[in-house]
Chains A and B, each alone.
Chain A
Amino acid sequence: MDNNNVWRKDFPILDQKVNDEDLVYLDNAATTQKPKDVMSKVANFYYSDYANVHRGVHTLAERSTEQFEAAREKVRKFINANSDKEVIFTKGATNSLNLVAQSYGEENIHEGDEIVISYMEHHSNLIPWQQLALRKKATLKYIELTDDGQLDMDDAQRKITDKTKIVSIAQSSNVLGVINPVKELAQIAHSHDAVMVVDGAQSVPNMPVDVTDLDCDFFAFSGHKMMAETGIGVLYGKQELLEQMPPVEFGGEMIEFVKKFDSSWNELPWKFEAGTPNIAGAISLGYAIDYLESVGLDNIQKNTQAIVDHVLPKLLDIDDLEVYGPKDPANHTGVISFNLKGLHPHDLATGLDMEGVAVRAGHHCAQPLMEYLGLSATARASFYLYNTISDADRLVEAIKATKEFFKNGTV
């Protein structure tokens, strides 16, 4: 399988030893590694075309602006938005979701209104709504999960009511490895005149996303989880909603005219992009999208699915290993959370690290989910396009070795 993975060579960081073992990087849900080609194109941009955007008439400013806006157009096409006006560059998914809460939420949520999220939300799609609800004396409601960690759609029907103004759900879970039917949720939300917000941080890097087809009102994601630089992300919003929303940050770029006691705002999308933006970050996102499209999201899905088909049964076979989320590989994404009975996940993760296998351990920024599952933390392996079946086997072997280590150590 290693020989068949044609993309691995594009990621120089993977070719190294960690703790004397060949590195197996399985922390992709936290952040992905960067292709050499994307990084060298960003470097070339800095070396030949860099200047500030949308200001000044000189040639470099023009080149820089052109590439920055070309990146926006790549994003638009990638998620199938209708217009570049609907693509706002942010710092990341967290920043995008906060923007919706602070602008749309601040204007439209009133005392007694309801905001509906689910138990599997990442803190970034939870705390902005929790704090908005507290500010406005609104009610925050959580959609329950089924026994195997899927969103309970019957409960969604019950929780979303005529009082609901905002529904905000992750398209793909960062802990449970499930995909949520956000298109169906958008229909339910719209039937109650609520807006649908989608946290796409875990989905956009891994599956084709069409915001027009989903008919969601807002969609947030991060560049660094899809091979672009850190500090760049996107908020997609329907134009008619964004037009009505007030800016939350003020400064350069976002203004039209500034007078002593009053100002007017630039048009979309710049109204929401105060200050010098993350120019190189946006350009890196454009190149990362080029890379993703050259690989093909369907090929990424196929590679991950083959790994999950192979590894999930093996993990379920390990005595004393509890695996969370759906047990059927067909319903499981490349994010797999687990615990070894009697061992804290940090101890497990240290053992895996000693074997060269990088996984995440902790609450995954989902403390209410951990509480809901009756856990304090889990270990999590997450696969991406450069991972292989043999990476998955290394994970299984390392878990078994760590289990033996602690068993024999304590006997």
Chain B
Amino acid sequence: MALSKMYNLYRQVILDHSDNPHHHGELPKSTNEIELKNPTCGDVLKLQLVVKDGIIKDAAFSGYGCTISQASASMMTDAVINKKVEDADNMVQVFSDMIIGDDVDTNVLGDAAVLQGVSKFPARIKCATLAWKALHRSLTNQSK
């Protein structure tokens, strides 16, 4: 049955992250904050970061979206906390390359590496990249 293909998209770890997202909610204080929308589906993602001495000390996201976008945001926050800003921004690049099917070393991404399967579902790439796009935007605004 064709639904079996979906196991590549909805791996168990993705469903776990979506059901029990990490770092979901709002931080009382943040240094960087951004709200991004996916206009084609109405998804909204708010990302807050606490950046100190060039290091992402904390991160949280809120809003609503599909399984893929929620899991991706959960995995992204897991992956970037306690990372240097430039390393985190580099991870955005690795993730973006991975998600369009490029052969890259995904070790730095942690759990988020399992989202590689999304590259086989072009219609869902935007869902997976929303959180990472938010990270990049909020980090680059910070450096200005």
Contact = CB atoms under 8 A, between A and B. Distances in A.
A350 B121 contact: yes
A350 B66 CA distance: 11
A194 to B, nearest CB: 32
B127 A346 contact: yes
Contact of B42 (A19, A353, A363): A363
Interface in A356-411: 356, 361-363, 367, 370, 376-377, 401-402, 405-406, 409-410
Contacts of B12: 409
Contacts of A363: 41-42
A376 B10 contact: no
Interface stretch (B1-9, B47-55, B131-139): B1-9
Interface string A213-252: 0000000000000000000000000000000000000000
Given A346-B41, A350-B124, A405 B67 contact: no
A19 B3 CA distance: 9
A409 B41 contact: no
Interface string B37-74: 00011111000000000000000000011111000000
A351 interface: yes
B27 interface: no
Nearest to A402: B3
A346 B44 CA distance: 14
Contact of A351 (B3, B64, B123): B3
B5 A19 contact: yes
B127 A406 contact: no
B6 A362 contact: no
Contact of A377 (B2, B19, B42): B42
Best-buried of B3, B5, B12, B43 by chain A (most CB within 10 Å): B3
Interface in A305-328: none
Contacts of A193: none
A355 B3 CA distance: 6
A354 B4 CA distance: 8
A355 B2 contact: yes
Given A344-B66, A346-B41, A346-B127, A410 B3 contact: no
Nearest to B124: A350
Contact of A401 (B1, B68, B121): B1
Q: How large is the interface on B (under 10, 10 to 19, 20 to 34, 35 or more residues)?
A: 20 to 34
Contacts of B40: 362
Contacts, number: 66
A21 B9 CA distance: 18
A401 B41 CA distance: 23
Interface in A187-219: none
A343 interface: yes
A20 to B, nearest CB: 5
B15 interface: yes
A347 interface: yes
A409 B15 contact: yes
Contacts of A350: 6, 9, 121, 123-124
B2 A21 contact: yes
> Which of A347, A367, A406 has the most chain B CB within a 10 Å cutoff?
A347
Contacts of B19: 410
Given A346-B124, A346-B127, A401-B1, A351 B6 contact: yes
Nearest to B44: A376
Nearest to B70: A344
A406 B15 CA distance: 9
Contact of A354 (B3, B43, B68): B3
Nearest to A363: B42
Given A362-B41, A409-B15, A410-B19, A346 B66 contact: yes
A406 B9 CA distance: 12
A343 B70 CA distance: 12
Contacts of A377: 41-43
A361 B41 contact: yes
A405 B14 CA distance: 14
Interface in B1-35: 1-3, 5-6, 9-10, 12, 15, 19
Interface of B: 1-3, 5-6, 9-10, 12, 15, 19, 40-44, 64-68, 121, 123-124, 127
Given A346-B41, A353-B123, 10 more contacts: A19-B5, A343-B67, A346-B124, A351-B6, A355-B1, A370-B42, A376-B43, A401-B1, A402-B3, A410-B15
24 contacts: A19-B2, A21-B2, A343-B67, A345-B41, A346-B41, A346-B68, A346-B124, A347-B10, A347-B66, A347-B68, A350-B123, A355-B2, A363-B41, A363-B42, A376-B42, A376-B43, A376-B44, A401-B3, A405-B6, A405-B10, A406-B15, A406-B67, A409-B12, A410-B15
The 4 closest A-B pairs by CB, nearest first: A344-B66, A346-B66, A363-B42, A354-B2
